[in-house]
Chains A and B, each alone.
Chain A
Amino acid sequence: MSAQDVHGGAAHGHDDHHHDDGPHSTVSAYIIGFFLSVVLTAIPFWLVMAKVIDDRGTAVLALGSFAVVQILVHMVCFLHMNGKAEGGWTLLSTIFSIVFVAVTIAGTLWVMLHMNTLMMPGHGEHAAAAAERTPAAAETPAARQGYGGAATN
């Protein structure tokens, strides 16, 4: 109650200008965003479920592109992202985050996947096969059997 009273008088100007309820959303933005999202979700699922692309590399590239485009659609249509919101600070912080995320993921994969190859010659790529050969991994067949019993085959 007290909060309402405080804002009742002096802060009326704010309500008129929508200062505190975020950007003005429109029906068309949500509808367009929704239909684009449905299409951009349906196509990758269809590509994988109908096994349209045989080559893994091409498929990964296609799926990744659809994801990036859909994320952009969500950013613009649902999160109302533009260069003017908050005097450009929203966009700037987003770009910073994207760079940071890209460095984190790409850097981690680069370092870690190379470490497998360089530091464990002969084991990195064939870790699974090696594990089967070692007698120490005695629990593996049992656990696998446990899984196999409930599996689809």
Chain B
Amino acid sequence: MSDIRYQAAATGGTMSAALPAREFHLAHEPHPENGTALGFWLYLMSDCLIFAALFATYGVLGRSYAAGPTGAQLFDLTLVALNTAFLLMSSITFGFAMLSKQRMKVRATLGWLLVTGLFGLCFLALELYEFAHLIHQGAGPQRSAFLSAFFTLVGTHGLHVTFGLIWLVVLMLQISKHGLIRENKRRLMCLSMFWHFLDVVWIGVFTFVYLMGVLQ
């Protein structure tokens, strides 16, 4: 309903919403037809600014070791490579879920979403293992400014993945209950943008934190 009224306003304003909807479809007005995608994209861009602030903080404090352990001593690149692989795999499987959605195949969509969720879970488990290992070594967030910045940046990304996983599970329930209705397709599109965005942020994390941290 609100869609129709919006189109009426865009066509010239003088027409009233009481006119039949068909009239408005004949006139192809050059207004954005998909407000949700743009709105969600703007949210992602604002999220990008949070990460920019955290990356900048890490850039300033990343070498303030307080005579404690350095990145080169702490980071296990094999673990990071595995984590990167998990996230990349989850990106492509989410892509397959989107393709199944386009063909309106509910079971295939749910299956690919499940695979995506499992990869996401593996990523989180490995990250939590890494964090626990660091804290056990005495390299917790309170050890040095470098480690505070590290835990904040990587932890914020991990928190995003956690909420993405919760969203994924809820959406899987929605799809299995209501099928691929218009609302669920829209939600799926938003989650796919969110998920791919997290992968983009991870590129920054593994490059600037892990790989450059090991370089010395």
Residues on A facing B (Cβ under 8 Å) = 3-4, 6-7, 10-11, 13-15, 17, 19-22, 24-27, 30-31, 33-34, 37-38, 41, 44-45, 47-49, 56, 59-60, 63-64, 66-67, 70-71, 74-75, 78-79, 85-87, 89-90, 93-94, 96-97, 100-101, 104-105, 108-109, 112-113, 127-128, 131-132, 137, 140, 143-144, 146-147, 150-152
| Contacting residues, chain A, for B88 (C-beta < 8 A) | 34, 37-38, 41
A34 to B45 Cα, complex, angstroms: 23
Shortest C-beta distance, B102 to chain A (Å), equals 7
A146 to B67 Cα, complex, angstroms: 13
Contact A90 B38, CB 8 Å, known A109-B59, A131-B67, A143-B138: yes
| Contacting residues, chain B, for A33 (C-beta < 8 A) | 92, 95
Shortest C-beta distance, A65 to chain B (Å), equals 10
| Contacting residues, chain B, for A79 (C-beta < 8 A) | 193, 196-197, 200
A147 to B139 Cα, complex, angstroms: 7
A14 to B1 Cα, complex, angstroms: 12
B181 within 8 Å of A by Cβ? yes
| Contacting residues, chain A, for B192 (C-beta < 8 A) | 22
| Contact of A49 with B77 in the complex, beta carbons under 8 Å | yes
A14 to B183 Cα, complex, angstroms: 12
| Contact of A109 with B56 in the complex, beta carbons under 8 Å | yes
**B66: which of A87, A100, A131 is its contact (CB, 8 Å)?**
A131
| Contact of A11 with B73 in the complex, beta carbons under 8 Å | no
B208 within 8 Å of A by Cβ? yes
**A67: which of B56, B95, B189, B207 is its contact (CB, 8 Å)?**
B207
26 contacts between A and B (CB under 8 A): A10-B4, A14-B3, A15-B182, A20-B36, A21-B182, A22-B189, A30-B92, A33-B92, A41-B88, A44-B211, A48-B214, A63-B211, A63-B215, A64-B208, A78-B199, A86-B38, A87-B31, A89-B32, A104-B49, A104-B52, A105-B59, A109-B59, A113-B60, A128-B65, A131-B66, A150-B137
| Contacting residues, chain B, for A90 (C-beta < 8 A) | 37-38, 41
| Contact of B4 with A101 in the complex, beta carbons under 8 Å | no
Closest to A4 in B: B181
B16 within 8 Å of A by Cβ? no
Shortest C-beta distance, A8 to chain B (Å), equals 10
